[in-house]
Each structure stands twice: as C-alpha cells, then as structure tokens.
Chains A and B, each alone.
Chain A
Amino acid sequence: MKLTLKIWRQKNAQVKGNFETYRMDNVSPEMAFLEMLDSLNKRLVEEDKDPVAFDHDCREGICGSCGMYINGHPHGPVPAITTCHLSMRFFKDGETVWIEPWRAKPFPVIKDLIVDRSAFDKIQIAGGYISVNTGSAPEANNILVPKNVSDEAFNSAICIGCGACVAACKNASAMLFVSARISQFALLPQGRIEAKARVRAMVDKMDEVGFGSCSNTGACEAECPKQIKLTNIARMNREFYKAF
C-alpha cells in the first residue's frame, strides 16, 4: 500500500523542528511500524540524506523505548501495544500518517522522534526501590503474600516507563507512571518499610522535574500499552496523605 508520512524532524534541542513529508510505496501490511520506518531510513541513507532518528531496542514490547505519537495516539491507534508491536495492517492504503515525538517540557526532544526521558529515571532514583542486603535470594515463603495482592503488585510493576501516559495526558502528567512505581512496592510487605519516605520523595521529584498535575481524564489509562489502571493514582494519593 501507499502511505504519506508526515514526520517531525528536529536536529537537536536547540533548533526548531518541522514536519517533513515522505511518500512510501509498497508498504506491506505484514510489516511492523518500525520496519516501515527502517525501510524509509534505508532509502534516506541511500539518497545520502539524514535518516529519521527514533528510539528502539527490544522490539518485543518490553523495553518501552519505541515511544512515538502516531495519528493522535501514543504508540499509534491500537490499544494496549507499543509502537514496535504496531502492524501496518491497521493503516489504510493512501492514508496520511502523522508521526510526532512525545510532547512535554520534562521530555525535551534530543533529535527527531527521540526525547530525553531521564526525568523518569530521576523519579525512580528518588525512591523507586527497596533497601535490602545483597546476597543469595531469600526463601520465597518467608514472607507470605496473598495471591490477589501479589497479582495487583505485578500489574503495577509491568509498567515499562515508556512515557505514553505523559504523552497522552492533556496536562503532561506523569502520575500514572509514578503511581505504578509506588504501588508495586506499597502493596507488598517488603515495600511497606520505606513506603512513607518513598512516596514523599517520588512525588517531590515528579513536581521538581516539572510534570503537570492529574485531572482524572483517564487518557493515560486508555493509552498505556501495559494497561496500568487509574486505581494506582488513587493509591498513590492515599499513600501521600498517609505519609504526613
């Protein structure tokens, strides 16, 4: 099929960017979205032009690298998948596809579609851990955890930190990400020990790096490739109130 790509091109954070138009013929519906971009880049390299810079790593929906905003949706129009899992069969012949980087002040554009997501790392470093002595793995049944609780903690822990929640939110709020990181520990007995300090530090860092505040629109939940729930944000709020 034939597609018209409108891709955001920006040399670096210091210069202004703009959309460039690329015509793509012979796009196979079996292609993955990133493979389609690979084929565009191959062509650009052959034409001695600068290829489109985009983040990617595992291409298995695990690493959270391949974040880009496609036709009004983070990771494209198909729910619950990352861009690398997006198949070209979801696009129509002759369609115009707009591809933009995540837009948020704490995620400055590095180049083209790549943004600096180290703001997430700073939040994680602030408190997204438990303090334990290293050594051999402890006996798994020493601290018993009900199955439903461990399942819920796991559902929060599967957040891949891709930033789609920030990209989708009209306020560029990071509360779904931060709340998932807080919840994965808050639900488990091992995480309760530092729970108060953790929520204070992570919320403080979230505000410091400049993300917006939540207005409960639900866009983050709708666009999260790992289907992290808004209940995490309510839990983070509860944890925050309890911490003082």
Chain B
Amino acid sequence: MSKVLFASISKKFVMALAGLFLLTFLPVHLIINLMLLKSDPASFNEAAHFMATFPPVKIFEVVLIASILIHVTYGIYLQISNWLVRPVGYVSGNKSETSFFSRFMIWTGATVLTFLVLHFFNFYFVKLGLVDGDPEDFYSMAHNLFKIPAYNYIYLSCFILLGFHLFHAFSSAFQTLGLNHRIWTPVVKKVALFYAILIPAGFGLISVTLWLFR
C-alpha cells in the first residue's frame, strides 16, 4: 500500500486534486473582491465577515489551506526530483514542441506562492490576529493598499503569471486524473484558456480601477 501512496502517479493525482480545489476557490474570491468596487464598504465587509465566521466556510478554509500546502509541497518535491533525474543537461538545448506555459510551472507557481505569502500578511494573518489591523474593515485596508503604485505593479504582474500557471494547470489536472477524451479534451483546453484570462482579468480590473480611478 505504501508503494501506491508514494508512486509518482499518486503524487500527481493528489497534486491535481488539490489544484482543482484551488481552481474552484478563485472565482469565489473574485466575486467577493468585486464588491470592493462599490463605494459603500458594508457589502464587502459583510461578505468578508461571513467568510470568516460562517461554520461551513470554516471547514472550507481548512481544506483550502491544506490544498495550498499539499499542492506546494508536492509541486516542489516533484520538481526537485525531476531535476535530479537529469544531472547532465543538453548543450543544444531542448527544442521540442511543447505546451509553452508548461515549461515554467515551477517559476509561475513560485511567484504566485510569494504573492500568497504577502497576501496572507496583508489580510489572512490580520484575521487570525497575528498581524495588526482591523479584521472587520478589510475594505479600507484593501483600498489603502491599491493606492500604492508599487503594490499594483506587483499585484498585476503576479496575476498575469497566475494566468499562465492556470492555463496549463487546468487541462493538465484532467490529464493527470486520466480524463483525456477525443471530444472533451479540446473543450477543456478552451475552458482553461477562458478561465486563465477571466480570473486574472477580474482581479486586475479591481486593482486598476481602485488605483487609477478612485
């Protein structure tokens, strides 16, 4: 049984499941963040309060944090293992035709993880009481952050890279789960493209609007 749990396919399976769960969370987060565009802070703060206190969401939160940890840990472990399998590289490089964004998953993932740490310090750790701030007024905290140009540059850059990561991750997860189909796989790839543009564009819209037009 231990062989099954530690098989390369099993690790990819767990990583894909965790990744797919994270994919379901992003639209939820985006919908809540879109309330930042309203001039009245009440609805955003109420939504943030609901997400922080409603018991079923608390379970969702535990699964979410576990998914992030599993996805990141397995991602780093598998990448290092893969690098070690080719101790001597090719002088003439690798010119094989591949899915472009798949080559940089570890780097786009590392960028998103770095942003996530910053994001946790700005909001999640405030909610947990580990960092100073008002957990009942995330609206003002977010608006204040988006007034800082450097924060917007970092935010927008990270979301563009998140889009690159999502584009490959979405269809790759289906392939890893064994779901490759003559008709449905091209559809999944189109949905992946739509998703990978929509999510960063939505978050980017909030950043640009609050930075330049408020």
Contact = CB atoms under 8 A, between A and B. Distances in A.
In this complex, the member of B4, B7, B81, B98 whose beta carbon has the largest number of chain A beta carbons within 10 angstroms is B98
Interface in A205-244: 206-207, 210-219, 222-223, 230-231, 233-238, 240-241, 244
B185 to A, nearest CB: 8
Contacts of B10: 240
Nearest to A214: B12
Contacts of A237: 9, 12-13, 175-178
A235 B98 contact: no
B78 interface: yes
A210 B83 CA distance: 12
A180 B61 CA distance: 40
B55 interface: no
A83 B93 CA distance: 18
Given A237-B176, A237-B178, A170 B82 contact: yes
Residue of B85, B94, B99, B103 with highest tally of chain A CB at under 10 A: B85
Contact of B92 (A98, A203, A223, A235): A98
A155 to B, nearest CB: 13
Contacts, number: 131
Interface residues of B, number: 42
B95 A215 contact: no
B95 A230 contact: no
Contacts of B98: 170, 217-219, 222
A104 B85 contact: yes
B175 A234 contact: yes
B87 to A, nearest CB: 6
A103 interface: yes
> B88, B89, B102, B177 — which one has the most chain A CB atoms within 10 A of its CB?
B88
Interface of A: 6, 19, 69-74, 77, 98, 100, 103-106, 168, 170-173, 200, 203-204, 206-207, 210-219, 222-223, 230-231, 233-238, 240-241, 244
Given A105-B86, A216-B175, 20 more contacts: A19-B91, A72-B93, A103-B88, A103-B90, A170-B82, A170-B94, A172-B82, A204-B7, A207-B8, A213-B78, A213-B82, A215-B78, A215-B82, A216-B99, A216-B168, A217-B102, A222-B96, A222-B97, A234-B175, A235-B178
